[in-house]
Structure 1
């Protein structure tokens, strides 16, 4: 599948899950109705932020505080550009289906209401829409994506092929993310915070033994290995007699704490290995990707 074809497929999964838009001329009131909200499926309405409850099916576990603050400032100045998606609950309450960052940022911006499209869907539909919508975003870290695919498999019985069609991904990509769940929990945590990229994690899986993977992951982090160096290191561990080459062990000069913090933030946001080479305020930012899917995610994030 070409890169262009893959990009064209993005977004189809969520549309397939949502009910077709109904004519806007017929308002439908939920039982019981919210005090000051008219529920019309397909049309955004302003609803109180305090009437909205967090989605228990949310896949995302981490939000970048800097990005959230920037979004909050934008909303305070210009308002919410894209409505959130909710469903009605008893007692005039609503539950988020999609748009948690916009909801949180609206609260931080001091907004009392937020534009929302209200959809009447079941628990199962709400869960599936939320998971698929999150998987179509570019800024989920690899472990969040892996766990989301796992939920689609375990709770909805979807095959890898079906998950790929729902999210606009290819089946091999889905399979690779699911493989990350075989990593030891300590290594999964490193992937989640961006210390180890998706490409590093895939290389480490070849070791199979949990203790070997943990030791290798620690070495990758300590030495700042690239994905290619990690692959060579893993092959040396698997086939020491072949002497495929030695990983450079010369210690790198200490990294400025500010540069290291920026590097970590970029890795966490992009889900890829990032190296900042700085010398007296000048240098370059090197972003490594292991395959076309990584490259696509990088382009979407930068765009």
Structure 2
């Protein structure tokens, strides 16, 4: 799997999970008090060596692909030095455990032939486990853009979180969250190109102003066939959005030079909002026209402007 190169910078891993822990503290305390005198190490949150065969995969996992080469490298490292950072699991009623965080370490431990893996136990509900898993995954660098987009969408759908709240939980800025969610508007085939790495996050975002699914698909095919850069893709999309019209009025308008600063501001707004933007300027006065074709775009625009 090829990681997209233009994904916005992330904050340090761990802040989002830490923000969740106070919310589940009451649940953890109640579970500990109800348990039949658990070992002191478990209460203190110290890791236990748990058989890898007694751990079930997390059904809320947002990662759909695992890079086998990277997994092999991690397995070799675990064979040599062991698991440096414990995984996080929760006990199940049937006596087994369910993974919350650390799927790659768990898989790599199996690949390395380890019988046990260090794990920290957490007493959390299904809802809390799902939220912790999604947030933990969004803080990692190995999710492709579409996996991140679907994870954000699930946070909003399952937990009714606004984009601002999602940004706070995952340590990202709100604009980044909005840009990831916009990727879900892309046709399925184009989403597949982003997921496989044929198109980067920047390429995908540059295609969004086209809006029409068929036009986006054709443009994506041309971009990949010609190996266009993100900047070239942006220029190509602008050409599709503003085709030359051979009318006398437009021919006359073309004779008038366009201020480079105005053109740059227009391009920046289109890239940021993912919508068609036109700036009409005359001697420092004018208007900004933002076009949208669906209510979802309008709501996103209002949130962006309000923020």
Matched-pair contact (CA < 8 Å) for 2:149–2:184: yes
Matched-pair contact (CA < 8 Å) for 1:87–1:118: yes
The C-alpha deviation readout for 1:203-244, integer Å capped at 9, x for no partner, is 11111000000001011111000001101111111112079x
SS at match of 2:89: strand
Q: Which runs of 5+ in 2 are unaligned?
A: 1-8, 247-270, 273-307
Output the CA distance in 2 between the equivalents of 1:208 and 1:21. Answer: 45
The aligned residue for residue 109 of structure 1 is 112
The aligned residue for residue 140 of structure 1 is 143
Structure 1-normalised TM-score?
A: 0.72
The aligned residue for residue 265 of structure 1 is none
Output the CA distance in 1 between the equivalents of 2:107 and 2:36. Answer: 25
Select the structure of larger CA radius of gyration.
2
Pairing 1:46–2:54 present: no
Output the CA distance in 2 between the equivalents of 1:77 and 1:29. Answer: 39
Q: Which residue, out of 123, 145, 148, partners 2:126?
A: 123
The aligned residue for residue 93 of structure 1 is 96
Matched-pair contact (CA < 8 Å) for 1:236–1:242: no
Output the CA distance in 2 between the equivalents of 1:30 and 1:179. Answer: 45
The Cα shift of 1:12 comes to: 1.7
The aligned residue for residue 221 of structure 1 is 224
Q: Which residue, out of 170, 173, 184, partners 2:173?
A: 170
SS at match of 1:110: coil
Aligned pairs (5 A) from 1:195-214 = 195-214=198-217
The aligned residue for residue 235 of structure 2 is 232
Structure 2-normalised TM-score?
A: 0.71
Matched-pair contact (CA < 8 Å) for 1:30–1:39: no
The aligned residue for residue 187 of structure 1 is 190
Pairing 1:155–2:158 present: yes
Output the CA distance in 2 between the equivalents of 1:160 and 1:95. Answer: 29
- CA spacing shift, 1:17–1:242, aligned 2, 3 Å: farther
Output the CA distance in 1 between the equivalents of 2:72 and 2:209. Answer: 40
Consecutive aligned runs of 4 or more in structure 1 exceeding 4 Å deviation: 6-10, 19-22, 27-34
- CA spacing shift, 1:176–1:7, aligned 2, 3 Å: closer
Q: Which runs of 5+ in 1 are unaligned?
A: 1-5, 244-289, 292-303
SS at match of 1:111: coil
SS at match of 1:115: strand
The Cα shift of 1:18 comes to: 2.1
Output the CA distance in 1 between the equivalents of 2:193 and 2:236. Answer: 18
State the aligned residue count. 234
